[in-house]
Amino acid sequence: MNDKYYRLGCDIGGTFTDFVLLNDQTGEIMTGKCLTTPQDPSDAVEEGIRVLEKATPDFIGRLDELIHGTTLVINSIIERKGARTGLITTKGFRDVLEIGREIRYAPYDIFAEFPKPLVPRKYRVEVDERIRSDGSVLTALDREEARRAVKVLLNMGVESIAVCLINSFENPAHEKIIEEVIAQEAPQVSTSFSYHVLPQIKEYERTSTTVTNAYVKPLTGRYLSKLAGRLQSIGFKGKLFIMLSSGGVTSVETAAEFPVRIIESGPTAAVIAGQYYGKHFHIPEMFCFDMGGTTAKSCLIQKGVAGVVPTFEVGRVQRFMKGSGLTIQVPVVDLMEIGAGGGSIAKVSKLGTLQVGPESSGAEPGPICYGRGGADPCVTDADLLLGYLDENYFLGGTMKLDKEGARRGVEEKVAKPLGVSFIQAVWGIHDLINETMAAAAKTHIAEKGGNPKIVTIAAFGGAGPVHAYGLAKKLGAPRMLVPPNAGVGSAMGFFTAPRAFDLLRSHKVSLGNVAFAEIEDIFKGLEADAAKILKKEAADDTIQYARSVDMRFIGQGSEMNIPVPAGDFTKFRKEEVRQLFDDAYEKLYGRTYPDSEVEFINFKVRASLPERLLQLPKLRKKKGQTIKAAIKGQRPAYSPVAKDFVPYTVYDRYKLFPEASFQGPAIIEEKESTLIVGEDAKVKVDNYGFLWIDLKEVE
């Protein structure tokens, strides 16, 4: 019998670090939450594990897997705390990072700012070489010139070097020469080569992604190495996995090599949990809503599937303006993230109106009520003053909140300057952050062809269940779902994520001229590369491969992803492939063009290992258990319907049982989060302990 039967999920957020410990033998789940330690995130990891160990002695020695999600990579990009990076590129392409796609995200704003490249111009060096689009060599690279370019960057003190040459996705020979030179001249320097990071057509995206990988690689490598060492020192001998932006998990070695793949590591996990629950309960349209201390993340899950997009932006100059950030071309779950969390700061804007977020007080100092030196009123302060949170039961009573301090802060910094009453100020903070999230949610749902009036809102995160009711009312959503341990929903999501990795290669060729044997060779090569990565994680497991191609009409500027059946590609007929394309195109655009030629652009493979499914434990009703036993009492909380404080019944979530149901207004408390339900909603508990909240319009 396997003596390693525990799995631990650990998600480092901007404010809190969440833990979920799963016993695979019994299905028992334990949770934990502690403040994030920004100076050294591994401090919070060890602290949380120590707390769990007190409740479950010696579990570390029986820990099979630790799955980890982190905001370290995205924070280092936003805060510009990565390595001093150099770029070696083809002669004439030194400024591709600034030229980008030559698109102004705000065409009528003459003062529009653009993000500064991660590599300043003086650290970009050209070499005289040229490879044609078909992979043939036009100008050969001189090895000595490559050596001189490397030395120029080394003399400037770079810690990391990115190499991105024109058309290297078709023929990486010249990048491999530079790779050999760097290995000879400076083997200690961190390197990222575009043929390895992103062998894909589109010069700007490929350069930007390779540079980003190089920029965060030394920092990520040091952190992951330190984390692994620290875990080893406290007795961990299992496997360490990292969450990918695409919704899979991978080994720590792969994450260190491709840190650009884990930029959205943390936010993705709650979506993957929502996807799992959506499939489990057969929910056709689910809006996954995860609100933590710093940001709110959401994603529309349709037919149990969260979409994955091939590109996204980080570090936007204008938070909601597409095109104002750094473009990253890696697969990422299609989520929307805005600066709205429990730590979002409320203040009076330059126009003399109330503004909440996107600035956050983070974990240090945090909201005023944390009593850690915070002086700016935040959303959590307002939630406390509205009666939604219990100052004596925050984090299960392990962290007492300062209600009077929060009251003074709101009065001095919001109510008095705005000339409004205290209650208008605190409700205004809560309601405005809900309005901000609802506006963004409506846009996101509309873009995906969804309807907010039929979605089920699944709430996660420490602040998610507090605000989900207000969000649902603004969206007109009829139903909410709050899973057990919702406050650590991201960490729960790690157990539902597959061990998977995505690879691609660009090769532009028309359907009419292609030899299918050539395509099969590309797929086989990608599968072999993926196998090398996944074999590190589980040598004995069978690897499954899913193939797809990006295709378009010749002359188009964008392509569609078409899944292709498994099996030898040479066995397919061209008419079958064309039919797959026409069916997908017609579904998306309403018609197709049978006489126009189509072409292949990218070939993609997702390799995955067998899933270790999370078995949801069932609740058991004890004999004689009644809803009265779950009631902790009543406390006054603000009702937007009554526009005043009214008595809310407070329930202990851990004492609820299957088929229990009750009417709002209600507050349901658990250690990591609190659910608020208005008087126009009814709560029902299912066999797994999930709370289903049906909302109706007040007559």
Do 34 and 136 belong to one domain? no
The pLDDT assigned to 455 comes to: 93
Is pLDDT above 50 for 468?
Answer: yes
Do 152 and 187 belong to one domain? yes
Contact 372, 366 (CB under 8 A): yes
pLDDT in tens, 567-585: 899 989 999 999 999 999 9
For residue 29, what is the domain's CATH number? 3.30.420.40
Cis-peptide into 498, omega within 30 deg = no
Is 0.75 topped by the overall pTM? yes
Is pLDDT above 70 for 125?
Answer: yes
Confidence of residue 539 (pLDDT cuts 50, 70, 90): low
The pLDDT assigned to 676 comes to: 96
Is pLDDT above 90 for 566?
Answer: no
Confidence of residue 25 (pLDDT cuts 50, 70, 90): confident
Is pLDDT above 70 for 667?
Answer: yes
The two counts, helices (H) then strands (E), for the chain are 18, 35
Do 451 and 319 belong to one domain? yes
For the chain, give the number of residues: 699
Do 514 and 551 belong to one domain? yes
The pLDDT assigned to 318 comes to: 67
The pLDDT assigned to 699 comes to: 36
396 vs 684, residue with greater confidence: 684
By C-alpha distance, which of 165, 100, 201, 210 is closest to 557? 201
Is pLDDT above 60 for 476?
Answer: yes
Is pLDDT above 70 for 537?
Answer: no
Amino acid at 553: F
Do 384 and 526 belong to one domain? no
Do 561 and 458 belong to one domain? no
Do 642 and 672 belong to one domain? yes
Contact 46, 234 (CB under 8 A): yes
What average pLDDT does the segment 174-187 reach?
A: 96
Do 333 and 458 belong to one domain? yes
Do 173 and 309 belong to one domain? no
For residue 316, what is the domain's CATH number? 3.30.420
597 vs 620, residue with greater confidence: 597
The pLDDT assigned to 478 comes to: 94
| Residue 187 covered by a domain | yes
| Residue 437 covered by a domain | no
Confidence of residue 1 (pLDDT cuts 50, 70, 90): very low
pLDDT in tens, 127-150: 999 999 999 999 999 999 999 999
| Residue 107 covered by a domain | yes
Is pLDDT above 80 for 175?
Answer: yes
Is pLDDT above 90 for 674?
Answer: yes
What average pLDDT does the segment 422-448 reach?
A: 92
For residue 512, what is the domain's CATH number? 3.30.1490
Q: Give the DSSP per-residue string, 330-361.
A: S-EE--EEES-STTEEEEE-TTSSEEEEEEE-
Do 39 and 127 belong to one domain? no
For residue 169, what is the domain's CATH number? 3.40.50
Tokens 């002086």 correspond to 375
Q: Say which range, 129-138, 351-360, 433-442, 589-598, has the weakest mean pLDDT.
A: 351-360
pLDDT in tens, 44-90: 899 999 989 888 888 888 898 899 988 778 878 877 889 999 999 99
Q: Say which range, 175-189, 417-431, 508-522, 536-550, has the weakest mean pLDDT.
A: 536-550
What's the domain range around 66? 6-77+222-262
Q: Give the DSSP per-residue string, 23-58.
A: ETTT--EEEEEEE--TT-HHHHHHHHHHHHHHHSTT
| Residue 455 covered by a domain | yes
What average pLDDT does the segment 547-563 reach?
A: 92
Domain boundary among 431, 451, 471: 431
Domain boundary among 402, 431, 460: 431
| Residue 348 covered by a domain | no
Is pLDDT above 90 for 652?
Answer: yes
Do 106 and 209 belong to one domain? yes
Cα torsion at 181, 184, 185, 191 (round to 10°)? 70
Q: Encoding tokens for residue 196?
A: 């390895």
| Residue 555 covered by a domain | yes
| Residue 322 covered by a domain | yes
Is pLDDT above 50 for 672?
Answer: yes
Greatest mean pLDDT among 14-23, 256-265, 642-651: 642-651
The pLDDT assigned to 157 comes to: 94
pLDDT in tens, 293-328: 777 888 999 888 888 888 888 766 665 577 778 888
Domain boundary among 576, 608, 640: 608
184 vs 350, residue with greater confidence: 184
Q: Give the DSSP per-residue string, 408-425.
A: HHHIIIIIHHHT--HHHH
| Residue 287 covered by a domain | yes
Do 380 and 393 belong to one domain? yes
Backbone angles phi, psi at 501, to 5 degrees: -150, 140
The pLDDT assigned to 698 comes to: 40
Percentage of the chain exceeding pLDDT 70? 97
The pLDDT assigned to 264 comes to: 80
Average pLDDT taken over every residue of the chain: 89
What average pLDDT does the segment 672-691 reach?
A: 93
Per the structure, the count of domains in the chain is 6
